[in-house]
Amino acid sequence: MAMPIARCLPRLLPNWNHQLHFSRAPVKNGSCWKSIKNFRFGVGQGEAELGRAFTSQALQSIQASPLFDNSRYPFAEANRTNLQFLKHQGSPFCKRASALSNYRRCATASSTGIAEQASSQGENQMASSTPHNDESISYLSQAEASAIDELLMGELGFSIDQLMELAGLSVASAVSEVYEANHYRRVLIICGPGNNGGDGLVAARHLCHFGYKPTICYPKRTNKPLYQGLVTQLESLKIPFVLPEELPSKLKDQFDLVIDAMFGFSFHGIPRPPFDSLLRKLVAPNGKKAEEVGVPPIVSVDIPSGWHVENGDTEGTCLRPDMLVSLTAPKLCAKMFKGAHHYVGGRFVPPAIVEKFSVRLPSYPGHSMCVRISPTESQPVDIAALRLNYVGFELLEESAKKDPFEQFKTWFDEAVSRKVSEPNAMTLATASENGQPSARLVLLKALDERGFVWYTNYDSRKAAELKANPKACLVFFWEPLHRSVRIEGSVEMVSSEESDSYFHSRPRGSQIGALVSAQSSVIPGRHVLDKANEELNAEYADGKFIPRPAHWGGFRLIPEMIEFWQGRESRLHDRLRYTREGDSNGQKTWKIDRLSP
């Protein structure tokens, strides 16, 4: 059964265009280009003329192809089959108004592969309308991606090196958000000969400045000045280049992360040497997990190398990256991406592109060059596969402080210096009189040899549980340092003087908030809080003294046990437990034990 024209042209034309080096001149100077212009401006014979022109252009492309009678190419027979179909079917594929109307917007964007744009857009209705989870984000076909690039580098004034710089920076920024340099410092970037490889070279430079230690495998170098300049920049940073045969059989022996920048959305066919063997190094055998066979996490640039830009892994490469950084907007094959991390880097896309192609892009947070996309319901995150390899820190008995308070202060100061967000945030676990546990986050507000202090509403659930069962546990977690501290002990209320002092050190808004909130009580709606807050702000608008409410104050946990946990490689973590043994000459004494991870 013959393949519908709307499907056969997108599949054939990319091969014809690339293999024949199908130049723009025949299109712009021929009847096909003239018909396009006539259709756009409402002259000529309209759809019929356009259909005949597209059919003629496609037939000429096939018949002129040296591949047409060359049995060495797997799609030669497909060319012959679809040639017969074109002769018989001709222009009816152009009768779809949806496809043709898109031409009024897109015909000038790309002069190469015009017929592919028509069929792809008509078939997929700009293919980018699929909602991605709770946010609608565009997915681009190859024709759309090519047309956007042409417009960017045409009338919108972007240069290829500028776009490459923006893309590489986006990739490096996304990588640094997921794979931090202190855990994934050794990065292998495998670069292909085209623009995707150039993006990888730029990303390598930025990663080096971000604190990573990149190594580059760039086996098919080009003599184009742009790429030679990128290589010179990397060599000036003393970033090593390696050949494929110099890579270890198990990449994980030398690298913590691999960036796949071999092929982008314009690639077609089966990867050739040496990229075929490089791809095999990134694939775990059936039934094996990547880490079991020495494959580090993989980040693919724009699309996974070897994948078809629209149809995914049609060639059976079995490459399954852990992270995908889509550039400008996700391509259609991204719908088949099953990894844990999908980012988009395309903050440089001007409004003209958005308007012309009806592209829907995610909003970017702050000044970030990249944004994370949540997976769809059909692409759930593999929770079991989410893991970090903790490297870079250790906790040994000979370096640990003898006093756990001193050890805590040392770690706390390091968390502050590393700009950990709210390093004083701690989980407070309590239990009711009958043993029902509960936990919540509170903030450490004081620390001395007596214990750890926080403040709250004395009518809250946690306060009620502490009054009935004055035992609790605190847990700190400082993720960038892979450190956690767990503290168990008895709890007491702090003095009124301490509570007064801290209460009046708070911002006036927080003081009024303590008066407004009857914490943990059920209220009919937000309006209750807003109204009470408005009334109290009016009452104390003259700056008069705000008294501490009797139901608000502090608690102190007096430690009996403090455990320091330091994440280590292969889950062989360091755990040192301090247990209070008693007082000696007025001083607390502590026993230190190492616990098995």
Which residue numbers are catalytic? 571
Contact 454, 440 (CB under 8 A): no
E-strand stretches of 250-312: 257-261, 298-301
What would the two tokens of residue 224 be? Answer: 């184009």
- Residue 148 annotated as binding? no
Element (H, E) at 423: none
Residue 512 annotated as binding site: no
How does DSSP classify residue 331?
A: B
Cα–Cα nearest to 267, from 304, 231, 293:
304
249 is in an annotated binding site: no
Binding site annotation covers 545? no
At residue 8, φ and ψ (nearest 5 deg) are: -75, -35
47-64 helix and 31-40 helix, angle to the nearest 10 degrees: 160
Question: Is residue 297 a contact partner of residue 257, using CB atoms and an 8 Å limit?
Answer: yes
Instruction: For residue 328, give the amino acid letter.
Output: T
Handedness of CA 151, 156, 158, 159 (dihedral sign): positive
Amino acid (1-letter code) at residue 300: S
Residue type, 1: M
- 3-state SS string for 158-174: CCHHHHHHHHHHHHHHH
**Considering only CA atoms, which of 547, 589, 553, 594 is closest in space to residue 573?**
594
**In 3D, which of 269, 261, 257 has the Cα closest to residue 227?**
261
- The answer to whether 113 is annotated as binding is no
Three-state secondary-structure class, residue 275: helix
Query: Is 270 one of the annotated binding-site residues?
Result: yes
The CB-side HSE value for 575 (13 A sphere, CA atoms) comes to 10
Secondary structure class of 360 (helix, strand, coil)? coil
Q: 265 labelled as ligand-binding?
A: yes
305 labelled ligand-binding: yes
Residue 104, φ and ψ in degrees, nearest 5: -60, -30
The answer on whether 367 is annotated among ligand-binding residues is no
Q: Where are the beta strands (DSSP E) in 252-411?
A: 257-261, 298-301, 323-327, 341-345, 371-373
Sequence-distant (6+) residues with CB within 8 A of 451 are: 489, 556, 557, 558, 559
Q: Which two tokens stand for residue 206?
A: 């930025």
Residue 30 known to bind ligand: no
CA distance 135 to 373: 9
Going by their DSSP bridges, the two strands 341-345 and 135-136 should be labelled as unpaired
End-to-end CA distance of the chain: 63
Q: Is 260 annotated as belonging to a binding site?
A: yes
| Helix H or strand E encompassing 137 | none
**C-alpha to C-alpha distance for 169 and 343, rounded to whole angstroms:** 13
Element (H, E) at 56: helix 47-64
Residue 510 has which token pair?
A: 């927080």
- Binding site feature residues: 195-199, 260, 264-270, 302, 305
- Binding site feature residues for (6S)-NADPHX: 195-199, 264-270, 302
- Binding site feature residues for K(+): 196, 260, 305
